[in-house]
Amino acid sequence: MTENGIGAAVRRKEDYRFITGAGRFTDDINRPKQLYAQIIRSPLPHAAIKSIDTSAAAAAPGVVAVFTGQDMADDGVGSLPCGWGINSKDGSPMVEPGHAPLVVDRVRHVGDQVAVVLAESRGAARDAAELVDVDYDDLPAVTNVAAAGKDGAPQVWDEAANNICFDWEIGDKDATDQAFSAAEHVVSIDLVNNRLIANAMEPRAAIGDYDTGNDEYTLYTTSQNPHVIRLLMGAYVLGIPEHKLRVIAPDVGGGFGSKIFHYAEEAIVTWASRKVGRPVKWTAERSESFVSDAHGRDHVSHAELALSADGDFLGLRVSTLANLGAYLSTFGPSVPTYLYATLLAGTYKTPAIYAEVKGTFTHTVPVDAYRGAGRPEASYLLERLVDRAARQLGMAPTDLRRRNFIDKESFPYQTPVALEYDIGDYETCLDTALDMIDYPGFAERKKASAADGKLRGIGISTYIEACGIAPSNVAGALGARAGLYEAGTIRVNPTGSVTVLTGSHSHGQGHETTFAQLVTEALGVDIDAIEVVHGDTGKIPFGMGTYGSRSLAVGGMAIMAALEKIKDKSKKIAAHLLEASADDIEFEDGQLTVAGTDRSVAFGDVALTAYVPHNYPLDELEPGLEETAFYDPKNFTFPAGCHICELEIDPETGHIELQRFVAADDFGRVVNPMIVEGQVHGGLTQGIGQALYEQCVYDDDGQLLTGSLLDYNLPKADSVPDFEVATHETLCTHNALGVKGAGEAGAIGSTPAVINAVVDALSELGVDDIALPATPERVWQAIQQASA
């Protein structure tokens, strides 16, 4: 292993600024003469806007301007676009309503944007916002996804009958129906995947800065993908050509998907800055984030598994209602379709699968990707169903899984739901996890808990996910309206240091360190002489950003491709210096050597020569040493693993205490084990949050009850135990690094492991199901009802 190269637990290069308070998050940035924007948001879930009187607000102290949706519409501002089109079963395209950054005539969720006040100070903007007088005509609203589909439910969009955006399917219905008719056992489950809110610790913020002298715009924004924002906002919303629009995503404090999307506030501040000729800054208050950041999950599903007498999975059918919210968020339609149902094979060789998904509008905040984006929903459903099947058939949950695993010799494996898995070894992950938790010893531990009056349970989940999104032509065929490649530039500087420009974006993932590790491994340059630059469209050629655990698999591969070009050119330069053939040059540990000799030249000398080309093949080779590569992945990547949770329940209070949590994950090659472990810890905590603590609740009147951190229960330091994490590497077969991605897996396998453990603990009392989250109240109620 090269020192600080691939596989090393290198301490992060970016940490210094964060531990000393020198980070530059968007709200830390101030532009000269900036104005502060306060957004006026609807307090009602559904209403017609009869009139908006901005006169009192406009006259308030410190106020420079007040704008409404009509002002933006009059200026030709377009709709926030949706980046993924889904077709229904009958081939018709999804219902695609417009999405004005400031609503003109009708608000459709609590928090919907109505107007904006620009003032000299935050206080003045807040005070003036309260003076904006909106006359609403209250309309009936529906927030529950099941209720929204029923006849007579309030309609979110006139053009979407029964609030259906799309009625989509995947798989082979006939083959699946046949499998069911021949099956000895059918196990079914009805479940809800609870609505969640990402709540990254940094609230969203945006600064629009229009330069009148050059007719150019700069947008600072808390985004996971600045180039995507430039494309969507520039092309579809504000009509600004790319060369006149710079988007900068500086330090971003967490995203988890919620900072992928092009939000109204980005367009509002950019547009408003030109209108008033001054920079405009907006920062969300946390309770404002609750009603404006995209929410996650929110599925209601019915699923059935058909099994043979011996427990072979014969067929799976799933019917899901997916809440899209009131508007189509940037990737909203893709999450409950191609990012969800294509994972319903799981780690199993189920031969026939059919799934149908109805994307449904409701009067709630738009729903889109949140850590895992569709894969947690699939794993939760599958692993709950498998556990239920084990119970019903009287088989051990381990045995039922083993029996149905795709064998490690069977790859590449074509699933019945579009995806072809490249490689995996699910049994080793299961065995590793069972060993880590001392599965055979559980019975004794359960007895000890019982002696203490506690119910002990153990729950397993074996998950798989698809990440490293995605091959562009495949994605395009499935409805994506963009490519999903990545770009990387390696700029070797004259004195041998290296600047890496990447289209990936780090908002906690440590790319400034891990991408530098790739470079140090390839070129032998000291890691401290490598700088990774991200987040600025003015500096980086292009990028699709960071989400879907794609940075290493796609962004890292773009860097590897650029490094290959650098190495090729370096060999040619070295060949000239050493008077040899380029084919005979070996590049190792920062030295370029003529094979079989001790004649060599250091990479640093090659770099200097490239920029001071006096002894140089100028007639064959351009000076300089900088290469760019665009990498389009060949396939998704398929991390997989086994999570096991052991917990104790106090039957008197319903309180759950997690005892142990083990994770054995296969992420392919691990570049920085410290960072991977950190990603798993964070993911597990979010998955446990979904299982036990978090829920986003709307009341029957459409009001968001969980509208602040007082009511939305984020896991705290004492909410989770220490985790035990191990990795098993089966190298991805279609990228040279062999990497699969690790950012989301923790949030995918953990939720079902926890709930399977809860059901296990309560099963002796006759409880066979519990809803998400399994709060103490729910657990206690379940116990009461079972004993009644």
- Residues lying near other proteins in the complex (CB under 8 A) are found at 11-12, 14-25, 27-28, 123, 198-203, 251-254, 256, 283, 285-287, 507-510, 674-675, 677-678, 680-686, 708-710, 714-718, 720, 722-723, 746
Please, are residues 691 and 755 in contact by the beta-carbon 8 Å criterion? yes
Minimum distance, C-beta of residue 187 to other proteins, in the bound complex (Å): 33
Q: How far is CA 584 from the centre of its chain?
A: 45
Minimum distance, C-beta of residue 258 to other proteins, in the bound complex (Å): 10
What whole-number distance in Å separates Cα of residue 367 and Cα of residue 332? 6
Please, are residues 684 and 746 in contact by the beta-carbon 8 Å criterion? yes
| CB closer to other proteins out of 42 and 686 | 686
Minimum distance, C-beta of residue 200 to other proteins, in the bound complex (Å): 6
| CB closer to other proteins out of 203 and 468 | 203
Q: What is the DSSP letter of 536?
A: B
Minimum distance, C-beta of residue 8 to other proteins, in the bound complex (Å): 13
Minimum distance, C-beta of residue 201 to other proteins, in the bound complex (Å): 4
| CB closer to other proteins out of 379 and 513 | 513
The three state secondary structure string of 611-640 is: HCCCCCCCCCCCCCCEEEEEECCCCCECCE
Name, in order, each residue with C-beta under 8 angstroms of 470's C-beta and a sequence gap of 6 or more.
480, 484, 548, 550, 633, 636
| CB closer to other proteins out of 30 and 473 | 30
- The structure tokens listed for 95 are 């219902």
**Locate tokens 């029964």: which residue?**
162
| CB closer to other proteins out of 37 and 245 | 37
Encode burial over 673-694: b for 16+ CB neighbours within 10 A, e otherwise: eebbbbbbbbbbbbbbbbbbbb
Q: Count CB-CB contacts under 10 A for residue 125.
A: 26
Name, in order, each residue with C-beta under 8 angstroms of 398's C-beta and a sequence gap of 6 or more.
430, 434, 439, 460
Name the residue among 196, 169, 160 with its Cα closest to residue 338: 169
Q: What is the DSSP letter of 43?
A: S
Minimum distance, C-beta of residue 383 to other proteins, in the bound complex (Å): 21
What angle (nearest 5°) sits at the alpha carbon of residue 452, between those of residues 451 and 454?
100
Please, are residues 608 and 624 in contact by the beta-carbon 8 Å criterion? no
The identity of residue 331, as a single letter, is F
| CB closer to other proteins out of 38 and 360 | 38
Q: Count CB-CB contacts under 10 A for residue 104.
A: 16
What whole-number distance in Å separates Cα of residue 601 and Cα of residue 394? 69
| CB closer to other proteins out of 510 and 556 | 510
DSSP alpha helix (H) spans, 405-510: 426-437, 442-451, 472-477
Q: Is 510 helix (H, G, I), strand (E, B) or coil?
A: coil
| CB closer to other proteins out of 350 and 727 | 727
**Locate tokens 């709950």: which residue?**
384
**Residues across the chain:** 788
| CB closer to other proteins out of 14 and 531 | 14
- How many Cα atoms sit within 13 Å of 387 on the Cβ side? 25
Minimum distance, C-beta of residue 196 to other proteins, in the bound complex (Å): 12
**Locate tokens 């074509």: which residue?**
414
| CB closer to other proteins out of 36 and 331 | 36
Q: How far is CA 703 from the centre of its chain?
A: 27
Minimum distance, C-beta of residue 255 to other proteins, in the bound complex (Å): 8
702: left (phi over 0), alpha (psi -120 to 50) or beta: left
Q: In what order do the strands lie in the sheet with 185-193?
A: 164-171, 352-361, 313-325, 299-307, 185-193
Minimum distance, C-beta of residue 253 to other proteins, in the bound complex (Å): 3
Name the residue among 335, 359, 425 with its Cα closest to residue 92: 359
| CB closer to other proteins out of 9 and 161 | 9
| CB closer to other proteins out of 370 and 542 | 370
| CB closer to other proteins out of 221 and 347 | 221
Minimum distance, C-beta of residue 16 to other proteins, in the bound complex (Å): 7
Minimum distance, C-beta of residue 621 to other proteins, in the bound complex (Å): 42
What whole-number distance in Å separates Cα of residue 187 and Cα of residue 106? 45
| CB closer to other proteins out of 200 and 516 | 200
What whole-number distance in Å separates Cα of residue 128 and Cα of residue 191? 45
